[in-house]
Amino acid sequence: MFIQTEATPNPATLKFLPGKPVLEAGTLDMPSREAAAQSPLAEKLFDIPNVGGVFFGADFISVTKSDGDWQQMKPAILGAIMEHYMSGAPIVNNGSDASAGDDEFFDAADTETVATIKDLIETRVRPAVAGDGGDITFRGFKEGVVFLQMKGACSGCPSSTATLQHGIQNLLRHFVPEVTEVRPV
């Protein structure tokens, strides 16, 4: 098994590509050891010193460090991922929902506007963000403000504010005049 590693715009996060599916649907953000209880692989990764967060996408695993040096952490992370795939154990425990906790809020009168916003995020934003080892999801729309949640490498990334305010906000304003601002949740 050959696992590729890619840098992300967030220097505290590396993206690991096992060459096999990670999640069949959705994404799974585990920013703490407690959240990792839903995944045997994430639990193994949190056993590695200085691992501060784990994020699963369709075909990648992003690991965020709390401290330490990638040179020392990377071999242990690669070993844990390889060992997990060789074991045949599931990535996520039965009964765990990869998209749990994604409650949305918006006024029913804005349903059509929200559908357009979601479509733009799904088709134009999420693929680019996934390429950087993260994910972004719609959380709400109120009084012209779009609320988005950034996960994985995007959460805490130094360039995430610029991505939200310049890239995504400009895109949404262009296609949806009702949008006045984009904010992180």
pLDDT at 100 over 60: no
Q: Output the CATH code of domain 105-184.
A: 3.30.300.130
pLDDT at 102: 57
pLDDT at 97: 52
pLDDT at 135: 84
Which residues does 135 contact at the CB level (< 8 Å), separation at least 6?
27, 29, 55, 57, 126, 129, 150, 151, 152, 154
Average pLDDT for 110-126:
91
pLDDT at 158: 65
pLDDT at 146 over 80: yes
pLDDT at 75 over 90: yes
Q: How does pLDDT run across 5-55, given as a tens digit for each residue?
A: 999 888 899 999 999 999 988 889 999 999 999 999 999 999 999 999 999
The CATH homologous superfamily to which domain 4-87 belongs is: Scaffold protein Nfu/NifU, N-terminal domain (3.30.1370.70)
Average pLDDT for 66-82:
95
Domain boundaries, given as residue ranges, for the chain: 4-87, 105-184
pLDDT at 80: 96
